[in-house]
Amino acid sequence: MLCPWMAILAAIALNWLGEIYNQQFQQTKYFLLPRNLSYMFGGLGAIIFIAGIILNTGIIKINVSDGTDIKHYSSIGLALGLGWLFLPVIWVARHRFSQKFLTANYWLAGWLIPTWLALAVAGSNGLLSNYSPDVKLFVKQPEIANVLKNESINFVVQETETLITGGVKPLLLLTFETPHWGKRFEKLADVPINSYAWVSPEPEVGLLTSKREIGTFRDWKLIQVVGQ
């Protein structure tokens, strides 16, 4: 119920700021507000953009407790940060270098387009419509997506009620994202050679040295059993 009213108030505020932006001389005590906001969000955009680059390139490795690959979130930071960087550029070009064509419409576009673009990127990654976006990002990884598409995946799990780390929810999410189910095994050693399996974090499933780990989602491992 609050969202429409918030949108209306935001539109009124942006229109008011746009009128102040177009002023060439100080006619109100808020004359410098658009400039200050431009510099503030331009600096914030620079920080967000640099953070997006760091996440995308992996210069600084960042791990989260549930195993989510946050590299996939970098595109949002790149879109939003780069867009906000134009706010101080537009302001300086108009008020310091007399580029009169850069009216308030250009400045307001610097606010709105990056935000819309970031929302579009978030939506395309399932971050807005999915309560567990990390699983969508995980299964989109090329190697994992190829295995899930072309292979039957077994499940190595004991009693789901006693899962100590992954919990029942990760198992439920993985079953939805696995189009071709194989069999259920209680021991990792029982999985046939050259087949694939989701392996639960339960210690009771045992260990296997002759396996290839493909990916990990909330401590559940996608593996391929290989020969000795």
Residue-wise pLDDT for 23-61, tens only, equals 766 666 777 888 899 999 999 999 999 999 988 887 777
Residues 117 and 158 in one domain: no
Partnered with residue 181 across adjacent β-strands are 153
Q: What is the CA radius of gyration of the chain?
A: 25
Q: Residue 59 is part of which domain span?
A: 9-19+30-129
| Count of domains observed in the chain | 2
pLDDT digits (tens, 9 = 90+) for 115-153: 999 988 887 766 676 667 778 888 888 899 999 999 999
Verify that 13 and 82 share a domain, yes or no: yes
SS3 state of residue 164: coil
Domain-ending residue, one of 88, 106, 129: 129
Locate the DSSP E strands across the chain. 153-156, 181-185, 196-199, 211-217, 220-225
Question: Which pLDDT belongs to residue 91?
Answer: 87
The domain boundary, picked from 87, 113, 129, lies at 129
Flag whether 91 is in a domain: yes
Q: Are residues 14 and 124 in the same domain?
A: yes
Same domain for 117 and 41: yes
CA 156/CA 163 separation, integer angstroms: 12
Cβ–Cβ < 8 Å for 114, 79: yes
* pLDDT above 90 coverage of the chain, percent: 20
Higher-pLDDT residue of 98, 184: 184
